[in-house]
Amino acid sequence: MSLSHDLFARARVHMPGGVNSPVRAFAAVGGEPVFFERAEGAHMWSVDGKRFIDYIGSWGPMICGHAHPKIVEAVQHAAANSLSFGTPSPGEVTMAEMLCEMIPSLDQVRMVNSGTEAAMSAMRVARAATGRERFIKFEGCYHGHADSFLVKAGSGAQTLGVPTSPGVPKALAELTLNARFNDLDSVEALFKQYPDEIACVAVEPIAGNMNCILPESGFLEGLRELCDRYGSALLFDEVMTGFRVHPKGAQGLYGITPDLTCFGKVIGAGMPVGAFGGKAEYMKLVAPSGPVYQAGTLSGNPVAMAAGIANLELLGQPNFYEHLGQITASLADGLQAKADAAGIPMTTVAVGGMFGFFFSDAERVTNFDEAAACDLERFKKFFTGMLAEGIYLAPSAFEAGFVSSAHSPADVIETLAAAEKVLSEIAG
């Protein structure tokens, strides 16, 4: 038996399901989770000493790879000065300046400690700004686990088959309206039904919590137009896509200006960080400049700011996004070619440093129903086979994959060799 097995047995005694976040438990793919103790660049080492090529990247933050020396140095320096002041400190100012400079739709930002907090707080601002209570989200999108969002949610909620969680008050859930991703008619129908009641449309501009689904041409533009027509705010949840798919986020990639945006992951480099921001007319409502209460003991934490600033600085290296995009595309194209050669229907997606693959014969997967119709059993076999080969993919068919600037062509070659072997086993 392994050290991972022993740890998981101990973990299950005092931790629900043995984990602190559900998808980590491997519920969707079977077997037991691997415990890790060290990582560097594109590689992670389990407690049993096995090396894996990592395509989760801590679910997005590790865009420069694990334990990047510049980030580690920044963190060590900040930590030596204090883990937390609970007062204003310089790193927060630098972070706010960097974010507002890099993302043109931001006049102001508020730092928080997770993507969940960012989405929850941005929603409160949208509701306060419009004086409305209902909002539209999309089936299979995930915006963290605040009550209002846990209605037909994606990610782990979907993986575990509890897209609408018990414990969410019915009265609150009734205010959450679900539309279909890439289906403007479904959004317009809700606006027509509640023309004066919708505070905002919240959307992952590239859906990353039902695998990886791109917006069809005109979809995001259409959302912008509908929000303008009905006086609603457009809220982009860029917790995953922010600085991952383009230096200006998905909003920069597609040229759409949202009213409010949520960030997380990359801006914290692995520290617990989130942020929400937007136009001054919205952000001036946030306490203490306005009446919308929002606070955090550790928000703007100096160590987290140091890590995030170092990460964002690294993104400015020459050709960073070109390299990231090329390596990610070579992985997705390679997987497609291996699946084609094995005669296994697969559709792959790559955008910036984010990718997805569906066991499906559809040319494109465009919404949650289509993602859910993919061959989940085949995914499970592929995941399990790849894990045995030392390739660490997300343990659910409803998650996107992440590549870092530390992934080399050799890592991709090794991954594709493993995929060839596993796919031929599945096909046989």
From 142, 230, 254, 321, active-site residue: 142
Q: Count the alpha carbons within 13 Å of 198 in the hemisphere toward its beta carbon.
A: 30
Task: Find, among 2, 60, 51, the residue nearest to 418 by Cα.
Answer: 51
Can you tell me the distance from the alpha carbon of 283 to that of 181, in angstroms, rounded to the nearest whole number? 27
Q: Where are the alpha helices (DSSP H) in 103-181?
A: 115-130, 155-159, 170-173
Smallest distance, ligand PMP to C-beta of residue 20, A = 11
Smallest distance, ligand PMP to C-beta of residue 356, A = 13
Strand 108-112 versus strand 260-264 pairing type = unpaired
Smallest distance, ligand PMP to C-beta of residue 117, A = 7
From 54, 237, 375, 411, active-site residue: 237
Site of interaction with ligand PMP (CB under 6 A): 59, 114-116, 119, 142-144, 155, 204, 208-209, 237, 239-240, 264, 274
The 3-state secondary structure of 360-397 reads: CCCCCCCCHHHHHCCCHHHHHHHHHHHHHCCEECCCCC
Both tokens of 298, joined, read 């550790």
3-state class (DSSP) for residue 293: coil
* Alpha-carbon torsion, ordered 384, 387, 392, 396, to 10 deg: 10
Both tokens of 361, joined, read 């014969």
Q: Residue of minimal CB distance from ligand PMP?
A: 115
Residue 142 is among the residues annotated as catalytic for this protein: yes
Both tokens of 384, joined, read 């399990």
Strand 347-351 versus strand 391-392 pairing type = unpaired
Nearer to ligand PMP (CB atom), residue 136 or residue 346: 136
Smallest distance, ligand PMP to C-beta of residue 373, A = 22
Task: Find, among 145, 112, 154, the residue nearest to 271 by Cα.
Answer: 112
Nearer to ligand PMP (CB atom), residue 33 or residue 61: 61
Can you tell me the distance from the alpha carbon of 73 to that of 68, in angstroms, rounded to the nearest whole number? 9
Nearer to ligand PMP (CB atom), residue 57 or residue 274: 274
Smallest distance, ligand PMP to C-beta of residue 343, A = 33
Smallest distance, ligand PMP to C-beta of residue 90, A = 24
Smallest distance, ligand PMP to C-beta of residue 118, A = 7
Nearer to ligand PMP (CB atom), residue 205 or residue 385: 205
Burial class (CB in 10 A: 0-12, 13-18, 19+), 2: middle
Nearer to ligand PMP (CB atom), residue 92 or residue 238: 238
Residue 279 is among the residues annotated as catalytic for this protein: no
Do residues 358 and 367 lie in contact, with contact meaning Cβ atoms separated by under 8 Å?
Answer: no
Burial class (CB in 10 A: 0-12, 13-18, 19+), 415: buried
Residue 381 is among the residues annotated as catalytic for this protein: no
Residues designated as active site: 142, 237, 265
